[in-house]
C-alpha cells in the first residue's frame, strides 16, 4: 500500500520491531533540498525507488525530492503529512541519514470536496519487510485520519503482472481485474479491514507512435468529430478558457464511476486550476493539454492532459482524459489523445514512453488506448476502509460473481463521484477515478502526475 501524508502533532516514540529497533519520524518541510533536515525527503525517495524497482524493474514512476517536498506545501485544497521509519542505531542526538530510512507513509487530507476521506499510503523497503515497520507507519497515519474526523480511508497497491484467475487471485467486485491474493500489499490491507473496490490497469505506450498507426486514427476521429475544433495548450491554460476547464475538472469527479469508492463531487474553479499549474511547475514538470471545443456553442466538450518531468526526458504520464457525457459517441477521446501525442512529437521529441492507468471495467477508454498501442504493464488495487468497521478476515480470495453472471453496471458505479491514481497525483484532493466512461489517468490519487506515496 502507498499513500499521501498528514503529520502528527507529537513526535512518535521509537517502535520496537522484530528486527533492529526502528522509530517513526515526521518528515520536515525543508527550506531547501540541500538543508540538513531534508534527510527525510531524500529517505522517502530512496525507499520509493527500492519499492518501484521491486515491482516494475525501473523507477519511471518514482517520486523525486522536489515532488515529495512540494506535496507537503499548504495549498488550501489538501493537507499532506509524511513519516519515515528509520533504523534507531545512530548516535543519540545526531540526525538520521537518508540511507537509514527503511519505510515511508503519508496521509493526504482533502480540504474542500471529499473531506470525509483520508488517503493513506505505506511503503517499506523490500529488505526490511515483515518486521513491523509497515504497522508502525500505518498506526501513525491512522492516528491522524481519526484525529481529523475522517471516516473513510483509501489507498492502493501495485502488482506486476496481473495474476491469472484462480485461488491465488483476488477479483475486483466490479467484475474486471485481479490482484495477487497473498502478496504483502494485499495481506497488509486485508488484515487492517480494507476491502478491494476496483482494479486499475497500468499501461505503457512506446513513442514515437508509427505514422501508419496514428494517421488513420487521426483521420477517422477528425471526420467523426465534425463540428468540433481542437486547442492545444502547453504549461498553462489560457485565461479565456480557464473557467470552462475548471468545469471539466469538476465533471471529472462526477462523470466517471469508481467502483465502490465513497467519493463525491470535487469542485474546481479558475484559481484552483492556476494553483495546480503552479504546483506542477514547482515540481520541475511540464504539461500538455488538448481540448475539443464544440464550435456551435463555444463549449469545451473534452480534454486530455499529459505531464512530464523535465529531468527525465524520456518519461510522460497520462493525466486525465474526459469527454462530457452529452458529447460522447463522436470519437472526441481519440481526437484529443492523438492531438496530445502530435504535440509531444513536435515539442518533446525525447519522449519515449507514456504511462497511463484505467479502470479494468473501462472498456471504451481501454479500447482507445489499445488502438494507439498501449500495452499492459501492471495492475493497481484500489482499497477502501470504513473506520470503526470490524476488521476483515484473514487474507484470502474474495468471492467473485457467480459463474456466467454478468456484472451489474449500476451496482459497480459509485454512489458519488470519483477519486484519482492512487499512488500518483498531488494537485487534486481525492478525485476522479479511471473508471467507466471516457476517462483515463491515474486513479485514487491525490496529486497530478504521480501519486505522492
Whether 209 is covered by a domain: the verdict is yes
Burial of 273 (0-12, 13-18, 19+ CB in 10 A): buried
Cα 293 to chain center, whole Å? 27
Going by DSSP bridges, is the β-strand pair 195-206/228-234 parallel, antiparallel, or unpaired?
Answer: unpaired
Question: Per-residue pLDDT tens for 194-227?
Answer: 999 999 999 999 999 999 999 999 999 999 999 9
Q: Are residues 137 and 162 in the same domain?
A: yes
List, in order, residues 6 or more apart from 366 with CB less than 8 Å away: 201, 358, 360
Considering the domain architecture, whether residues 305 and 158 belong to the same structural domain is answered as no
Task: Read off the CATH number of the domain in which 212 is found.
Answer: 3.40.630.30
Q: What is residue 445's predicted lDDT score, i.e. its pLDDT?
A: 32
Q: Are residues 351 and 232 in the same domain?
A: yes
Query: What's the rounded Cα separation, in Å, for the pair 209 and 198?
Result: 30
Cα(198)–Cα(258) distance, integer angstroms: 7
- 288-316 tens-digit pLDDT: 999 999 999 999 999 999 999 999 999 99
Q: Check whether residue 175 and residue 298 sit in a common domain.
A: no
Domain membership flag for residue 393:
no
pLDDT in tens, 371-385: 999 999 999 999 999
pLDDT band at 75 (very low <50, low <70, confident <90, very high): confident
426-449 pLDDT tens trace: 323 332 222 223 334 333 333 322
- Structural domain for 270, as ranges: 205-377+418-440
Q: Same structural domain for residues 317 and 369?
A: yes
Residue 328 lies in a domain: yes
Weakest mean pLDDT among 18-32, 39-53, 346-360: 18-32
Residues 194 and 237 in one domain: no
What does the pLDDT average to over 99-125?
A: 96
Q: What is the average pLDDT across 5-16?
A: 41
Indicate the residue among 201, 216, 231 that finishes a domain: 201
Q: Are both 211 and 357 inside the same structural domain?
A: yes
* Coil/strand/helix, residue 444: coil
If asked whether residues 189 and 215 sit together in one domain, one would say: no
Is residue 111 a part of any domain in this protein? yes
For strands 353-359 and 315-323, give the pairing: parallel
Residue 176 has pLDDT above 90, yes or no: yes
Is there a single domain that holds both residue 166 and residue 53?
A: yes
User: How far apart, in whole angstroms, are the C-alpha atoms of residue 440 and residue 245?
Assistant: 17
**Domains in the chain: how many in total?**
2
Of 201, 228, 254, the one marking the end of a domain is 201
| Pair 216, 146 in one domain | no
pLDDT score, position 423 = 34
| Beta pairing, strands 169-171 & 178-180 | antiparallel
Res. 99: pLDDT tops 70: yes
220 & 191 share domain: no
452 domain-assigned: no
Residue of higher predicted confidence among 14 and 22:
22
173 & 311 share domain: no
Averaged pLDDT, 235-243: 98
136 within a domain of the structure (yes/no):
yes
Q: What is the mean pLDDT of the chain?
A: 84
Longest dimension (CA), the chain: 70
347 C-beta neighbours (distance < 10 Å), count: 12
Amino acid at each position: 500500500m502507498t499513500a499521501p501524508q498528514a503529520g502528527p502533532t507529537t513526535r512518535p516514540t521509537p517502535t520496537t520491531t522484530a528486527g533492529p529497533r526502528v522509530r517513526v519520524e515526521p518528515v520536515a518541510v525543508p527550506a531547501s533540498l540541500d538543508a540538513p533536515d531534508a534527510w527525510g525527503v531524500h529517505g522517502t525517495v530512496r525507499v520509493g525507488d527500492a519499492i518501484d524497482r521491486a515491482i516494475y524493474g525501473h523507477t519511471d514512476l518514482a517520486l523525486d525530492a522536489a515532488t515529495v517536498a512540494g506535496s507537503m506545501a499548504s495549498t488550501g485544497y489538501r493537507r499532506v503529512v509524511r513519516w519515515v521509519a528509520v533504523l534507531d542505531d545512530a548516535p543519540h542526538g545526531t540526525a538520521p541519514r537518508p540511507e537509514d530510512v527503511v519505510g515511508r507513509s503519508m496521509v493526504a487530507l482533502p480540504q474542500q470536496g471529499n473531506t470525509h476521506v483520508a488517503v493513506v499510503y505505506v511503503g517499506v523497503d523490500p529488505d526490511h519487510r515483515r518486521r513491523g515497520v509497515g504497522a508502525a507507519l500505518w498506526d501513525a497515519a491512522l492516528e491522524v485520519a481519526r484525529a481529523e474526523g475522517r471516516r473513510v480511508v483509501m489507498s492502493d497497491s501495485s502488482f506486476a503482472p496481473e495474476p491469472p484467475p484462480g485461488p491465488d487471485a483476488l477479483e475486483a467486485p466490479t467484475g474486471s481485474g485481479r490482484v495477487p491474493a497473498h502478496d504483502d500489499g494485499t495481506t497488509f490491507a486485508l488484515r487492517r479491514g480494507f476491502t478491494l473496490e476496483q482494479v486499475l490497469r497500468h499501461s505503457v505506450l512506446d513513442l514515437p507512435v508509427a505514422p501508419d498507426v496514428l494517421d488513420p486514427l487521426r483521420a477517422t476521429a477528425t471526420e467523426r468529430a465534425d463540428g468540433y475544433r481542437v486547442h492545444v495548450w502547453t504549461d498553462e491554460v489560457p485565461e479565456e478558457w480557464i473557467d470552462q476547464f475548471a468545469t471539466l475538472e469538476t465533471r471529472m469527479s462526477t462523470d466517471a464511476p469508481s467502483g465502490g469508492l465513497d467519493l463525491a463531487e470535487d469542485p474546481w474553479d479558475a484559481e484552483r486550476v492556476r494553483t495546480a499549474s503552479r504546483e506542477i511547475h514547482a515540481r520541475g514538470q511540464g504539461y500538455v493539454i488538448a481540448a475539443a471545443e464544440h464550435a456551435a456553442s463555444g463549449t469545451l466538450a473534452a480534454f486530455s492532459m499529459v505531464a512530464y518531468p523535465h529531468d527525465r526526458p524520456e518519461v510522460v504520464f497520462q493525466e486525465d482524459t474526459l469527454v462530457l457525457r452529452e458529447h460522447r459517441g463522436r470519437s472526441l477521446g481519440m481526437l484529443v489523445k492523438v492531438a496530445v501525442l502530435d504535440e509531444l512529437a513536435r515539442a518533446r521529441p525525447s519522449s519515449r514512453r507514456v504511462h497511463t492507468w484505467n479502470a479494468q471495467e473501462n472498456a471504451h477508454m481501454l479500447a482507445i488506448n489499445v488502438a494507439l498501442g498501449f500495452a499492459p504493464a501492471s495492475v493497481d488495487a484500489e482499497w477502501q476502509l470504513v473506520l470503526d468497521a470490524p476488521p476483515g478476515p484473514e487474507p484470502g480470495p474474495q468471492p467473485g460473481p457467480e459463474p456466467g453472471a454478468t456484472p451489474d453496471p449500476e451496482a459497480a458505479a459509485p454512489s458519488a463521484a470519483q477519486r484519482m491514481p492512487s499512488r500518483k497525483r498531488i494537485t487534486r484532493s481525492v478525485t476522479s477515478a479511471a473508471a467507466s466512461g471516457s476517462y483515463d489517468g491515474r486513479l485514487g490519487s491525490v496529486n497530478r502526475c504521480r501519486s505522492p506515496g
